[in-house]
Amino acid sequence: MDRDVQQLIEMGATVAQARAALRQYKDVMQAAEQIFDGKFDHVMDEDIEGDVAPLREHALRIQGPATPEDEEDAEADDSDDMDGFADYDSDDEFRAEPGKPLTDVDPYAGIFFSKDRREEVIEVEEEPDAEHIPEWNENRQLMSQGEWMKGCPEGSEQSFLFSLYSQLSEGQCACPHGCGEGVQRKKSDFFVLPPDFDKYIERLRKLVIRNCHKCKKQYCFACGEPINSASTRETSTTSDDPLFHCANLQGVILGIGLFLVEQMYSDQIQEGKTEQSTVAGNSKKRKSETQLPPPLTNGVDDDDDVYYASSVKGKKAKSGIGYAGDVREDMSGQVEAQALQRARDEKLGHLLTAVRWYLPSLRRPGGGRTSDYLVHPTALAHLRRRFNHICSSLLKNDSLSDMSDRSVLYRELFDWLETISHHEALASMMAMPIMVVVSVKAVTTRKGINSSHPVRERTIVYEGSSGPRELLESLVIQAQAAMKSLEKSSKASEAEDEEMTEEAKRVTNESKGKGKEIEMPEDSRKLLGFCKRILATADAIDRFLSETKGTVFVERLHASLPKISTSSKETVHVATGATEEATKDIYVEWATQARFEYCDLSIPPGDSEEDAEDQVPNYKFYYNNEARTLANTDIPKRSLAIAKELAVLTTNLPVAWDSSIFLRVDETRVDIIKALITGPAGTPYHNGCFLFDIFLGSIYNQSPPSVKYMTTHGGKYRFNPNLYADGKVCLSLLGTWSGPGWVSGKSTLLQVLISIQSMILCDEPYLNEPGWAGGAGTPQSQAYSANVRRMVVRTAMLGNLKTPPEPFADIIKTHFRLKANSISEQLDEWLSQDDGRPIAADGAPYGMSKQTPGTSDNGLRQDIEETKRILTQLQNESASGSSSS
């Protein structure tokens, strides 16, 4: 029973009420309902000898606000008065164990908890009541208690929410001057849902200051404390605003305000879906296969419609493939859609700005007010359950270009993050995982106790996901990549100026004045400014966290942030005897960090006079000549497109145990790119490493990139009907195959890479040849796949291990070392499936005599044995290196 009592206490009951309710109702939830309905309000703690209610007492401490001027007096009267506003974010609970120095205690062990955390919460959904509001001359819904507490998986935060709701929606607010007069509170005073936030604030401002009818003195209707007008300061616009008088007002304003923000955001998402459906309905004549794939959303499925709006984990949709038929993409309506999105963003941004004004902030013009110092415990609860939903959704946008176009909204989001991180009571939220709904386990409907409306109870399952600062770091990585690209184009422009004639330089300098500035197109300047804003926000947050939480907090936070590797040469070890799941986790973590890097792809100049005079370097690259032709040239549209492209690629290249994509970009020429794709599971390409050279040409992205397949066994092997021995890649996106292809300004290199990974490196490559498209499962298809497997082992596995292509030597070795056991088992299976035929370099399965599988000496067995020897050698080297370190 003690456990049930504790659960009810966390929900806001006293010990006496909890025990009395449980004696009458054995079920905890039934007991809670009766307590919430007021049936046990008459039961006092003193009714049960020895009973105390520490948590209830703790929650009710919020009723005694203190102004900044009275802080010293408050501390003298009762040093614990502020505890109710700090314990939910306090480090006092961390104590040294007996015999252990306090310096060894990690003060943030309770803040940085695992994202694997899982909570089940029963939430109540009830029909809201309505009441006529004279000021607005209309009936408005009232926020129900279930809606007020909805989305909160934390027991302690639930008690604070319940306490504030109960205090401000019922009972009498007595005059604090001792005259015996009082005013009855009702739900519509504080919990009415307004037509807009400004009207709510205007009504609340008139409502909160009460003049006692009996003693004629003023007091606050929210906290029941006197309003001392003599102590108000005249130095700021908030000095006379009664809405900053107490913490209770802050709690209710943020609760209603963030509810309105979340509601507007959800409505806008639905509006966007409706608009997309309308556009799709107007385009029914187009074949569904011609639709461009939806933008990647970094794991967020916008169509997920669960009980509580949240960012639900999901699989990233593969895109850039499946085109068929000679039809152009219909781009009509795009400008109109962008205008509508801009209008929605401005509306939401305005509301966010209005609500942000009531966040606790000691940097408020004229200094902090009472509620800025005395933060209500529900403030953190409101932010974590409502603001975090919007924050995570916006920060998971994988398109830096889209975010830049929507800067009016994103800049306001950054202001929120900075404000939150600068207040000690809220700052830890930046590192806390965001709890999101993953499922609704059970739904039951029952009759309401005090209402004719039915009440639904839902068992909601919450799981931890990336916190706000972690999500922001992904944008930081993208912004740094975009800025690096834009800087390269600026340097190219500088180099062009240096090659100008003296007369041209003189004219240019005269026109520009003394200070030389690099002309940058408006779109590029806009993107650059937005990237700088992202970096400034991250720096400000880290600086504020250092000030409020300490350097240890920030160091631990940074250790958990996503990173891109500065060098893939760092050795990754797997402990001896590690489970397959542990090995997979290590592989994915390594691949995530190593998937994108800058490197030097240039060829060092020789000693000849010709090499010394040639200022344009050569590159280890198929498109070397084309790259040299564009050296020191700046094409603004191209530069901007590359900047946007690289920003997305830094954090969105798919990585998985089954298949990954790795990219290497030249550090001085961001248009020179090399890609390595590991063959997907379930295909004859599985675990092979396939290299591609990619060049973003002079009119990128008005036209597609140039892509050359390099893993061809010296130009001899054709691995797929779409991968020629000479390196040609057949894909409609690249214009090398029939069907709708590249759409200027919309198609991306990421789509090309995923298309190759998913549709070319497929399970039955035989079917990629149009004339063979109907041969699924036929002997010819099986023979084609067997032939591909032999080529993969000889070239994409063994060949790459013996002579790793630059710059992927370390990637290839780590890939095969971490997956050595799995690959060995795969090779044994491939050998047993082999049909015994020799390798057909052109891939054709015809003209070969049938032989008993596995009996001929086609070299596969020898290739597999040599591959296994190298795998064992790599594992032994790693084990010795790990033990020595």
pLDDT tens-digit series, residues 658-669: 999 999 999 889
From first CA to last CA, the distance across the chain in angstroms is 53
Rg (CA), the chain: 33
Question: Higher confidence at residue 307 or residue 729?
Answer: 729
Question: Higher confidence at residue 234 or residue 133?
Answer: 133
Instruction: Say how far apart CA 701 and CA 587 lie, in whole Å.
Output: 33
Closest C-alpha to 177, from 135, 214, 232: 214
pLDDT above 90 for 413: yes
**pLDDT for res 5:** 72
Mean model confidence pLDDT for the chain: 78
Instruction: Say how far apart CA 831 and CA 822 lie, in whole Å.
Output: 14
Mean pLDDT of 579-588: 90
Least confident piece of the model among 183-197, 437-451, 682-696? 437-451
Instruction: Say how far apart CA 130 and CA 142 lie, in whole Å.
Output: 6
Closest C-alpha to 481, from 692, 665, 298, 691: 665
Could you list the active site residues? 730
- Give tens-digit pLDDT for 267-282: 998 887 776 666 555 5
Mean pLDDT of 645-651: 90
pLDDT above 70 for 33: no
Percent pLDDT > 70 in the chain is 73
Mean pLDDT of 143-150: 92
**pLDDT for res 155:** 81
pLDDT above 50 for 327: no
**pLDDT for res 523:** 86
Q: Sorting pLDDT into bands at 50, 70 and 90, what band is 486?
A: confident
Mean pLDDT of 391-403: 86
Mean pLDDT of 367-390: 91
| Residue 144 to residues 83, 167, 390, Cα–Cα distance (Å) | 29, 14, 22
**pLDDT for res 10:** 55
Tell me the pTM: 0.74
**pLDDT for res 452:** 61
Tokens of 283: 């385009």
Closest C-alpha to 286, from 336, 331, 330: 330
Least confident piece of the model among 9-13, 172-176, 391-395, 412-416? 9-13
Q: Rounded to the nearest 10 degrees, how much is the dihedral formed by the CA atoms of 814, 815, 816, 820?
A: 100
Give strand ranges (E) for 561-688: 596-599, 602-603, 618-619, 661-666, 672-678
**pLDDT for res 297:** 32
Q: Could you tell me the domains of the chain?
A: 2-104 (no CATH), 118-261+355-380+434-466 (no CATH), 563-884 (3.10.110.10)
Q: Sorting pLDDT into bands at 50, 70 and 90, what band is 804?
A: very high
- Give tens-digit pLDDT for 56-81: 333 333 333 334 444 444 344 443 33
Give strand ranges (E) for 550-660: 596-599, 602-603, 618-619
Mean pLDDT of 754-770: 91
Angle of helix 580-594 versus helix 809-818 axis, rounded to 10 = 170
Mean pLDDT of 582-597: 92
Angle of helix 522-548 versus helix 468-498 axis, rounded to 10 = 140
Does an H or E element contain 139, and which?
strand 138-141
Q: Sorting pLDDT into bands at 50, 70 and 90, what band is 634?
A: confident
Mean pLDDT of 697-716: 94
**pLDDT for res 241:** 85
Least confident piece of the model among 364-368, 809-813, 817-821, 878-882? 878-882
Instruction: Say how far apart CA 435 and CA 392 lie, in whole Å.
Output: 10
Q: Sorting pLDDT into bands at 50, 70 and 90, what band is 849?
A: very low
Q: Is 745 left (phi over 0), alpha (psi -120 to 50) or beta?
A: left
CA geometry: angle 681, 781, 315, nearest 5 deg: 30
Angle of helix 247-281 versus helix 334-356 axis, rounded to 10 = 170
- DSSP annotation of 387: I
**pLDDT for res 53:** 36
Mean pLDDT of 296-319: 35
